[in-house]
Amino acid sequence: MNATAAVVVFGATGHTGRFVVAELRRRGFATVVSGRDAARLEALAAEWGEVEVRPATVDDPGSLDRALAGAAAVVNCAGPFAVTAGPVVEAALRAGIPYVDVAAEIEANASMFADRAEAAHAAGTPVVPAMAFYGGLGDLLVTAAMGEWTAADRVQVAYGLNGWHPTPGTRVAGRVSHERRAGRRVRFADGALQYHDDEPWEQDWVFPEPVGRRAVIAEFTMADVVTVPSHVTVPEVRTYMSVEAARDLAEEDTPAPEAVDALGRSDQTFVVEVVVSAGGVERRASARGRDIYAVTAPLAVEAVERILAGRARTTGVASAGAMFDAADFLRALSPYVSVELPH
């Protein structure tokens, strides 16, 4: 086992949480599994073996303190993050340990930067929100594509999913976000988040081969509109989603993902392409892989491993691209993700 203290996974019984536990154990980390359902934790611990169970709930700070006692770091996989992120990051700061979460909720991520930055900076503790497929991966790609640039005129992030089978947690988080913004849509333009009632529209996006030209929903806004502007000077960030995936997410009867291999991954595939533009010059970077939930695990665990090894670039609240060497981080995700970066 890894010689460091244990890493706590809060929300360990969820779909993504299980992938994170498996990745931690694969890398040799001692692991504590936590969450509100003690019986489910015990049942899964019996399957996993060599994990410690520490139940906790976000409305009981004492239980969170006990769950994080003596730990090296915590990965929060429990959505909706509008409910869990605040209490868990506060517990991490009390414990003086790094906090990583996998939140895709725009408002929860914005709140993390707005409300926790001062305390995290004062504590000298790394806090990395959205260290996941949505938010983290795009931010790393944008940062790597930027290279020596410190500012851009526009950033675009296009998601080419062959489909999207959402988990129950994704659906709950989506409903919470919808309610928080009163049904409005959101964009990042003129250097700020803007809420609006404009109807979505479709356009074509030419992804790297073999995906090629695909119809996408324009301004299908994801967490990149929070992570990227947190450290890149840019007035406009736009994100796009393949029409097939957007329709799957909108349909209430789209089934949850089903495992088709020994790692528990589904057959869903993705390609993410970013375009950064400055002074009439464009730079592109892309990543392709399989299963948006499964790939979140190596993203989150690689972040924890680098922080604990002293390979983080800063402390306080920071996105993936600000916290780590983006190009090096992306290359380390092989074989889970194949990346194409500017030369």
CATH of the domain at 322: 3.40.50.720
Residues 55 and 150 in one domain: no
User: What gap in Å lies between CA 39 and CA 36, rounded to an integer?
Assistant: 9
How far is residue 228's CA from residue 156's CA, in Å, rounded to a whole number? Answer: 10
Residue 198 lies in a domain: yes
Residues 39 and 15 in one domain: yes
**Is residue 340 in a domain?**
no
Indicate the pTM of the whole model: 0.96
Residues 47 and 108 placed together within one structural domain of the fold:
yes
Provide the domain limits for residue 306: 7-132+296-327
The β-bridge partners of 151 are 233
Together in a domain, 198 and 184: yes
Spatial contact of 6 and 67, defined as CB atoms under 8 Å apart:
no
Residue 4 confidence class, pLDDT cut points 50, 70, 90: low
Spatial contact of 325 and 310, defined as CB atoms under 8 Å apart: no
Does residue 332 fall inside a structural domain?
no
Q: Is there a single domain that holds both residue 268 and residue 313?
A: no
Band (pLDDT 50/70/90 cuts) for residue 305 is very high
Provide the pLDDT for residue 49.
87
Same domain, 126 and 138: no
Q: How far apart are CA 307 and CA 85, in angstroms?
A: 19
pLDDT digits (tens, 9 = 90+) for 98-122: 999 999 999 999 999 999 999 999 9
Q: What backbone torsions phi and psi does residue 205 show, to the nearest 5 degrees? A: -130, 130
Q: Look at residue 90 in the predicted model and tell me its pLDDT.
A: 98
Residue 2 belongs to some domain of the structure = no
pLDDT in tens, 119-161: 999 999 999 999 999 999 999 999 999 999 999 999 999 999 9
Residues facing 238 on adjacent strands: 156
12-29 as b/e: b if 16+ CB within 10 A = bbbbbbbbbbbbbbebeb
- Regarding whether 173 and 32 lie in a shared domain, the answer is no
Same domain, 128 and 140: no
Max Cα distance, the chain (Å): 57
